[in-house]
Amino acid sequence: MPELPEVETTCRGIRPYLNRTIVTDWIVRDPRLRWPVAKELDFLPTQSILDVQRRAKYILIHFNSGTALVHLGMSGSLRITDPDTQWKKHDHIALTLSNGRQLRYHDPRRFGCWLWAGKQPLEHPLLHSLGPEPIGEDFTTDYLYQRCRQRKTPIKTLIMDASTVVGVGNIYASESLFLARIHPQREAGSISRQRIDKLKNTIQQVLEYSITQGGTTLRDFVREDGSPGYFKQQLRVYGRENEPCLRCESSIQRIILGQRSTFFCPRCQS
């Protein structure tokens, strides 16, 4: 499931192939994504690609006339291929480039999107009210502590809310809370500033380390060259229900929180 490290890995992977190329062809085999693929993208051929950036889990591809917003949803991936590579069942979109390569968008569950955001992409409705990047100077202990004040919501729900901080999905939320030794159901407003400081640091460490591993591959995620990410081997609680805690050997528990599976150690996390 693409979370921030997977999107960052994808961005870094495709950027060298896209920057300073010209779009020679734009192919949409199936426009039915979360929202229909934007019709403005039909004008991409002959345009130059200026840069590829990431904001939250959105990939921003900057062309001369504006920016495309690409989201991988839950099962999306982008690969660099040769144009004559056999299409796979859920390859929905392709962007052919002047360097002879092709960018392929694959998304079995079709929860992703390809939208047009014009010349001021950060003002697009999907981007303008997002919280700070977790790996960036705006995500401070004071900020996170203030966001928690008076909030009765479980801390896991709060850190997964993109208006608080972007990029922390279900996997990394469980992992960060384990490392910070905070119970996922703990009321956000009841946590001390010291533990919030610890949590802010563990969120950053987990995400940064996962990026060095190329992200986490559970099922679908592949890098731009088709290879998996290796952070799965580093997961301490996610997906380990009834397995021993790596710290105290208690049985890892799974609960449902905000409709999502949540893993934690009942002894280490209070």
Partner DNA sequence: AAAACTACCTGAGTGC
Partner DNA sequence: TGCACTCAGGTAGTTT
Considering the complex, state which of residue 96 and residue 264 has its C-beta at the smaller distance from DNA.
264
Considering the complex, state which of residue 34 and residue 267 has its C-beta at the smaller distance from DNA.
34
2: contact with DNA by CB under 7 A? yes
Q: Of 5, 8, 54, 57, which one is the catalytic site residue?
A: 57
- Strand order of the β-sheet with 77-81 is 23-28, 91-97, 102-106, 77-81
The interface with DNA within residues 226-255 (CB under 7 A) comprises none
Q: Would residue 57 show up in a list of annotated catalytic residues for this protein?
A: yes
Q: Hey, is 183 helix, strand or coil?
A: coil
Q: Would residue 254 show up in a list of annotated catalytic residues for this protein?
A: no
157: contact with DNA by CB under 7 A? yes
The interface with DNA within residues 210-229 (CB under 7 A) comprises 219
How many CA atoms are closer than 13 Å to the CA of 146, on its beta-carbon side? Answer: 7
Query: In residues, how long is the chain?
Result: 270
* Cα distance between residue 156 and residue 159, in whole Å: 5
Q: Would residue 198 show up in a list of annotated catalytic residues for this protein?
A: no
Q: Hey, is 172 helix, strand or coil?
A: helix
5: contact with DNA by CB under 7 A? no
269: contact with DNA by CB under 7 A? no
169: contact with DNA by CB under 7 A? yes
- Return the DSSP state at 119: T
71: contact with DNA by CB under 7 A? yes
Q: Choose which of 80, 171, 182, 199 interacts with DNA (CB under 7 A).
A: 171
217 within 8 A of 202, measured Cβ to Cβ: no
**Cβ count near 64 (within 10 Å):** 11
The interface with DNA within residues 121-140 (CB under 7 A) comprises 125-126
Strands (E), the chain: 23-28, 49-55, 58-63, 66-71, 77-81, 91-97, 102-106, 113-116, 253-257, 260-264
Least distance in angstroms from the C-beta of 192 to DNA: 18
Q: Choose which of 15, 101, 124, 151 interacts with DNA (CB under 7 A).
A: 151
Q: What is the CA radius of gyration of the chain?
A: 20
Q: Of 12, 186, 254, 260, which one is the catalytic site residue?
A: 260
Interacting residue ranges for DNA, rule: CB under 7 A:
1-3, 32, 34, 56-58, 71, 73-75, 89-90, 108-111, 125-126, 150-154, 157, 160, 162, 169-171, 219, 258-261
Active site residues: 2-3, 57, 260
